[in-house]
Amino acid sequence: MAEAAWTENEIADLVAKVNALKESMGRVIVGQRDVIDLLVTCLLGGGHALVEGVPGLGKTLLVKSLAQATDMQFRRVQFTPDLMPSDIVGTEILEEDPATRQRVFRFQRGPVFTQVLLADEINRAPPKTQSALLEAMQERSVTFAGQTHRLPQPFFVLATQNPIEQAGTYPLPEAQLDRFLLRIDVGYPTEDEEMMMVGATTHAGLADAVPALDVDTLLRLQQLVRDIGISDAMLRYATRLVRATRPGDSPVAAIRKHIGWGAGPRAGQALVLAAKARALMRGRLAVTRDDVKAMLLPVLAHRVLRNFEAEADGVAIADILAALCADVQAG
């Protein structure tokens, strides 16, 4: 159950605003209801999202509509091989006072100082630039020349990757992938959805999302997610699922056969937070087994590594995690 400080009316009002947020985004984004759900889940959980999908599926529009619907500051950075860390976090510039002729260094903030940051094609930037962003994501601050500069709150990063182009890219190391709460796969729309999308974008264009949630309310929602209780049984179930991804002593045959490296303890934290956010979005103040199972793939897909045998046999990570769900029991 949620903490006693939250009244039933407050909780009902907050859940209604979450639904209004999804509806506002749904008026701009054609289809992709599951993707919107996961994006809002990640936002409420206070984490960051790694979004994967081929070009032209509306990933940028998805992020922009989220920023518009929450009335948050939004910036987009196109990651390229020549992008430097200072292009992300900022740098010091030398300024001269016209009156005194005194010269001083002033920190010029980079695009990371925003509330919603779209890191487009993050795997195209060199590792040093990737690390600068991912450090800011983790610390929620930037340290430059011995001074720490806090990032705005909330701070939400959505990094995109194109799964079909790997030439000239720098894949994110596993330790850095772990910084993302969820990995969200954006698939092709249905025929009807694609027809609606083409018709809308070649006529009058898509309207902007209407603000449905202010920043203060979002911060309260993020706090409410953390205040939602989880039973010892569900906590143990989430822990068992994460531990079972480690092939050395896993009770799941598919894990032992197809996984080379399992998830660490941070995956358990992410799974519980995501399950809490999902429960709140459905108007519940307690985490169920269905919440944990539904969040398993987006939480673990980028945290467990298939071995060579799995890649050679074409075994998808979704199939391996489905076997994990089937073999690991709650309680």
What's the whole-number mean pLDDT along residues 77-82? 90
pLDDT at 196 over 90: no
What's the whole-number mean pLDDT along residues 131-156? 87
Specify the fold of 1-82+114-227: Rossmann fold (3.40.50)
What pLDDT was estimated at residue 166?
64
pLDDT by residue (tens digit) across 204-258? 656 677 888 889 999 999 999 999 989 999 999 999 999 999 998 899 999 999 9
How many whole angstroms separate alpha carbon 143 and alpha carbon 137?
A: 12
pLDDT at 48 over 90: yes
How many whole angstroms separate alpha carbon 244 and alpha carbon 252?
A: 7
pLDDT at 113 over 90: yes
What's the whole-number mean pLDDT along residues 270-274? 96
Token digits for 19?
A: 């639904």
Share of the chain above pLDDT 70, in %: 93
What pLDDT was estimated at residue 183?
93
What pLDDT was estimated at residue 165?
64
Ranges of CATH 1.10.8.80 domains, the chain: 230-331
Nearest partner of 120 among 43, 111, 149, 128, judged by Cα: 111
* DSSP 8-state code for residue 286: B
Ranges of CATH 3.40.50.300 domains, the chain: 1-82+114-227
3-state secondary structure of 141: strand
What pLDDT was estimated at residue 206?
60
Residue 265 · residue 246 · CB < 8 Å? no
What pLDDT was estimated at residue 331?
56
How many whole angstroms separate alpha carbon 173 and alpha carbon 178?
A: 9
Q: Is the peptide bond preceding residue 55 cis, with omega within 30 degrees of 0?
A: no
How many whole angstroms separate alpha carbon 270 and alpha carbon 260?
A: 21
Amino acid identity, position 296: L
pLDDT confidence band for 135 (50 / 70 / 90)? confident
The residues, ordered by sequence, that sit 6+ positions from 320 with a Cβ below 8 Å of its Cβ are 254, 255, 258, 259, 304, 306, 310
Residue 243 · residue 318 · CB < 8 Å? no
Rounded to the nearest 5 degrees, what angle is found at the Cα of 157, between the Cα atoms of 154 and 160? 160
Q: For the domain 230-331, what is the CATH superfamily, name and number? A: Magnesium chelatase subunit I, C-Terminal domain (1.10.8.80)
* DSSP 8-state code for residue 242: H
How many whole angstroms separate alpha carbon 265 and alpha carbon 289?
A: 19
What pLDDT was estimated at residue 107?
82
Amino acid identity, position 100: T
How many whole angstroms separate alpha carbon 105 and alpha carbon 89?
A: 16
Nearest partner of 124 among 87, 171, 88, 89, judged by Cα: 171
What's the whole-number mean pLDDT along residues 104-116? 88
What's the whole-number mean pLDDT along residues 114-119? 92
Q: Kindly list the distances between the CA atom of residue 74 and the CA atoms of 86, 104, 118, 179, in Å, as whole numbers in the listed order.
A: 19, 30, 8, 21
What pLDDT was estimated at residue 1?
46
Token digits for 114?
A: 């925003």
* Most distant CA pair in the chain, distance: 75
